[in-house]
Amino acid sequence: MNESNTEWHIYLIRTRLNSLYCGITNDLEHRLQMHKNGKGAKYLRGKGPLSLVWSCSVESKSLALKYEYRIKQMTKASKEALVNQTMNLPRLENQS
């Protein structure tokens, strides 16, 4: 599959201890299942149950990586605002 034609997703997963993990994927359901089966990010292993609490589609992997970085720099309160839909995805520099 050509990456330029693939829709990418940025997502937040909530752990048992209420922490939020941010990641990206081009197959959200498959990636969530991998996390739940302990095959995804090491950070999430043993921290279940895990629940997908927020996701957003973007048009490229490059953009998804930029947003992932930006979200990982955000405070927990700002991430919660994304989840609660009281805040929009942050603007990226050089974004028109």
pLDDT at 2: 47
Cβ pair 7, 59 in contact under 8 A? yes
In which residue ranges of the chain is pLDDT below 50?
A: 1-2, 96
pTM for the whole structure: 0.87
Cα–Cα–Cα angle for 24, 49, 90, nearest 5°?
35
pLDDT for position 40:
82
pLDDT at residue number 92: 76
**Strand 8-14 to strand 20-25: parallel, antiparallel, or no bridges (unpaired)?**
antiparallel
Cβ(13)–Cβ(1) below 8 Å? no
Provide the CA 77 distance to its chain's centre, in angstroms: 16
Task: Pick 3-83's CATH classification: 3.30.43.10, 2.40.30.10, 3.10.180.10, 3.40.1440.10.
Answer: 3.40.1440.10
Counts for the chain of helices (H) and strands (E), in that order: 3, 3
